[in-house]
Amino acid sequence: MEYNDIIQHLVEFLGTFAFAISGIRHAAAKHFDWFGGYVCGIAVAIGGGTIRDVMLGTTPFWMTNPIYMICTAMALLFVIVFAKHMEGLRNTWFVFDTLGLALFTIAGIQKSLAFGQPYWVAIIMGCITGSAGGVIRDVLLNNEPVIFHREIYAMASILGGLTYWLLDYLNVSIEVTVISAFAVVSIMRFLAVRYHLALPILKDE
């Protein structure tokens, strides 16, 4: 396995764990049982990547390796065991959701580039990979999808994608490129929520 492939699989695994915890925490807030929590965790963890892979014309990533299902089960166990401690951490779900967004954005970009897609497509695929799972989660939980909130979400993913493209264009090492793109997405999300940054709203008549 090539070095870039190892990094891509590691990013996908970490993103799956972070997103699964986010989905399970949302399910816990709705008082779902353990199975319901697992379903929500799966939905947010594999939803965006599944849409990406279907659009790229390849077998969805989770169908080729059971590790992602196992990873979600580990996330469920983590939430169950540390539930009392996590309840004391304010906005824990937001932190995991942001980490998942950043990691899956990078995973989507890398896989799209591996399939020979141009960078503008890869950036879009990164955004879909990072945000579509959250949309599926929110629909299952009967919540307004987070990408429709005024706070910046998908735009953070796009900015991270543009950062990845720029650093790759400048021949920066893959490690620095991944870390920088991850930092841009995460910091943009944190700043947007902390300082209530948002795009202008549409006005009707």
Residue with structure tokens 């300082």? Answer: 195
- Cα distances from 37 to residues 26, 89, 103, 159, in angstroms, run 8, 19, 21, 31
Q: How large is the average pLDDT for residues 35-52?
A: 94
Q: Which residues pair with 151 in a beta bridge?
A: 198
What's the chain's length in residues? 205
To the nearest 10°, the Cα dihedral for 106, 181, 138, 148? -130
| pLDDT at 27 > cutoff 70 | yes
Helices (H), 34-153: 34-56, 67-81, 83-87, 92-114, 119-140
Q: How large is the average pLDDT for residues 77-101?
A: 76
Is pLDDT larger for residue 79 or for residue 202? 79
Residue 95: pLDDT band by 50, 70, 90 thresholds? Answer: confident
Average pLDDT value for the chain: 88
CB 28 within 8 A of CB 37: yes
pLDDT score of 172: 96
Bin 142: left if φ > 0, else alpha if -120 < ψ < 50, else beta.
left
Q: Say if pTM beats, i.e. exceeds, 0.85.
A: yes
Q: How large is the average pLDDT for residues 92-103?
A: 81
Residue 89: pLDDT band by 50, 70, 90 thresholds? Answer: low
CB atoms within 10 A of CB 182: 21
